[in-house]
DNA sequence: GTCTATATATTGATAGAC
DNA sequence: GTCTATCAATATATAGAC
């Protein structure tokens, strides 16, 4: 029985995302993926060369989609200040991470193990992500819209705040009894981020 | 050739920490651990029952030490306000995570995979950690030292900010070109955390 | 406490029929 | 594109000598 190639490939990706997310990359076998996807094991090698190739495909797809969305903030939406743009971008980031929460978690986890692939992802996509936000902040500082602030420090903390609930959703669930995927929580998260930003932009602070 | 049991056990733990940290739990074999520790493979089962038991031992040891240190903030050091105590506790947390950076990273990573052990660690130690900080903040709010604020939200963000550099040290290194284990960086981190706290305590903010 | 030797299972990947 | 069958490597865990 032949199947549409597009469908088979997609089913493998979906199964892999689910299993990599819940069990980790090394904790997942190609057989489990094939079984969950309802396809033959050999098809993983056919479409993705090997298990690592499948992981790489998922990671690249995720970041390409993220940057398409962030580019949309720059060009599509109307923003009347850099502060406004920054808020748009941060909200987009939070919502993207929430929407693709499984890939978000699995990427961050695999990023934390020492590997070639992790290093490549960091040097390309994470460096780009940092630059997207740092550039806007730097521009705001230069134009006098923002007070002088340590750009890198702000970006690190923005990354920390926005990623935490989606890399450790179980902590949010089992320690704080909140549901990180609820729209209510997402709005709360966006609010937190806005507040943090607002504080950073308040000149009277001692933040250096 | 007989060896001191204390030494052998410790050598296994040290090797395991290093390998679990860099390669992940599932990515590490008991043979690698035994080899790195310079002991026989069978001794892992002798001392820790199995690989999972070794991981559990490392995690429990880490959190027990952390809480001993945090308890020290409450009782040993002199603090003249709850704000002061909170700062002491946060600095202790940051420095502890920096000192045992390998275990910090491996625990956070393994916490992000769906497992019985992870759930147990969360429901005991992370819940306790949350309570340690939440209790001080709540006390401060009740006594009027702090303005009214959403305690849980503050704790989530404190956890996010303080843990990020030690769960993703490679991001700090390869994207921001900073060394997360330098005393200079640690001081910067403590400073960030203090600043965040200071902002939260400033009543004029819109943080709810 | 420490070792060797081994049982048992499972892994990722592929060759080749269809 | 999809399948079966299988290879070769590696995994954890343990039994039993020392």
Residues A15-54 pLDDT 10s: 999 999 999 999 999 999 999 999 999 999 999 999 999 9
- Please indicate if any CB of chain A lies within 8 Å of the CB of B105: yes
Helix (H, G, I), strand (E, B) or coil at A25: coil
Contacts of A160 in chain B (CB under 8 A): 160-161, 163-165
pLDDT score, position B3: 58
Domain segments of chain A: what residues? 1-48, 57-200
CB A73 within 8 A of CB A96: no
Whole-angstrom CA distances from A5 to A47, A49, A58, A97 are 9, 15, 17, 28
Is-contact A94 A192, C-beta < 8 A? no
Q: In CATH, what class is B58-200?
A: mainly alpha
Sites in chain A below the pLDDT cut of 70: 1-5, 203-208
Nearest-CA residue of chain A relative to B129? A175
Q: Which residue has the tokens 């230069």?
A: A142
Which of A111, A113, A175 is facing B127, going by the closest CB pair?
A: A175
Can you list the residues of chain B whose pLDDT is less than 70?
Answer: 1-5, 203-208
- H and E: helices and strands count for chain A: 11, 0
DSSP B113-145: S--HHHHHHIIIIIHHHHHHHHHHHHHHHHTTS
Give CA–CA dist A134/A173, Å, rounded. 32
pLDDT tens profile B148-174: 999 999 999 999 999 999 999 999 999
With CB atoms and an 8 Å threshold, state whether A113 touches B152.
Answer: no
- Sorted by sequence, the CB contacts under 8 Å of residue A147 that are 6+ apart come out as A141, A201, A202, A203
Q: Provide, in whole angstroms, the distance separating residue B53's CA from nucleotide C10's C1'.
A: 21
CATH tag, A57-200:
1.10.357.10
Residue of A nearest to B125 (CA): A175
- CATH number listed for the domain at residues A1-48: 1.10.10.60
Residues of B numbered 122-141 whose beta carbons fall under 8 angstroms of chain A's beta carbons: which are they? 122-123, 126-127, 130
Q: Which residue of A has its CA nearest to B206?
A: A195
Say if the Cβ atoms of A175 and B27 lie within 8 Å: no
Dihedral-angle region of residue B38 (phi above 0 means left; psi in -120 to 50 means alpha; beta otherwise): left
Residue nearest to nucleotide C5 (CA to C1'): B42
Q: What is the DSSP letter of A80?
A: S
């Amino acid at each position: 029985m032949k199947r549409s190639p597009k469908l088979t490939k997609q089913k493998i990706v979906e199964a892999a995302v689910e299993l990599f997310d819940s069990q980790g990359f090394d904790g997942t076998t190609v057989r489990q993926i094939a079984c969950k996807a309802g396809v033959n094991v050999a098809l993983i090698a056919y479409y993705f060369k090997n298990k690592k190739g499948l992981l790489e495909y998922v990671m690249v797809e995720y970041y390409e989609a993220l940057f398409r969305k962030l580019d949309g903030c720059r060009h599509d939406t109307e923003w009347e200040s850099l502060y406004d743009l920054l808020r748009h971008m941060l909200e987009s980031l939070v919502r993207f991470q929430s929407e693709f929460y499984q890939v978000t978690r699995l990427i961050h986890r695999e990023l934390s193990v020492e590997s070639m692939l992790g290093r490549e992802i960091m040097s390309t996509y994470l460096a780009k992500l940092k630059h997207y936000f740092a550039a806007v902040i730097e521009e705001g500082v230069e134009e006098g819209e923002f007070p002088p602030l340590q750009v890198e420090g702000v970006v690190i903390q923005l990354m920390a705040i926005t990623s935490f609930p989606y890399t450790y959703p179980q902590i949010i669930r089992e320690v704080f009894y909140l549901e990180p995927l609820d729209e209510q929580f997402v709005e709360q998260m966006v609010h937190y981020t806005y507040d943090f930003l607002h504080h950073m932009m308040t000149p009277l602070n001692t933040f250096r």
